[in-house]
Amino acid sequence: MTDSATSLLENGIERYKAGEKPEDLIPVFQDICDRASKNAAAWSSLAWLYLLTDKPKLALKAAQKSVKLDSRAPQARINLSVAMLETGTAGVRQHIEAAQQMMSLDAQIRQDIEENIEDGLTRKPDWKSLERVKSWLLTS
């Protein structure tokens, strides 16, 4: 990834953490994905923003690309699972199981996932698909 794309990604994440609206950040992350099409984190972030703005089909495509680029990224697997639930796509279990395995091996990954899920539920209360994923991941 180029330096400019890296700094754009970091800046976009900081803007998200500062509370900027997901719909305002989508064009930023689309641009990052255009500039650095092999960056799994950028695609995962774009998928998350699409999920937050009720665009599950776009989220599914972005999440699939993210997992294809880095199948070891648990957040990408979670985003894909949520998008699959929201679009009625089969095959969620394998992604949940992969995320569970990664979370069981690293306490920091588990903490990051817990924080991301809570962030999602804060930004989008009553998010049924994310609540289902949370119950599968965090109650086992």
Report which of 57, 59, 24 is spatially closest to residue 45, judged by C-alpha positions. Answer: 59
Q: Which residues contact 124 (CB under 8 A, 6 or more apart)?
A: 52, 130
Say whether pLDDT at 3 is over 80.
no
Over residues 31-60, the pLDDT tens digits come to 999 999 999 999 999 999 999 999 999 999
pLDDT of 127 above 80: yes
Beta-carbon-side half-sphere exposure of residue 36 (alpha carbons within 13 Å): 21
SS percent in the chain: helix, strand, coil, step 5: 80, 0, 20
Domain 3-138: give its CATH code: 1.25.40.10
Cβ-contact 59, 83 below 8 angstroms:
yes
**81-86-88 Cα angle (round to 5):** 90
pLDDT digits (tens, 9 = 90+) for 62-78: 999 999 999 999 999 99
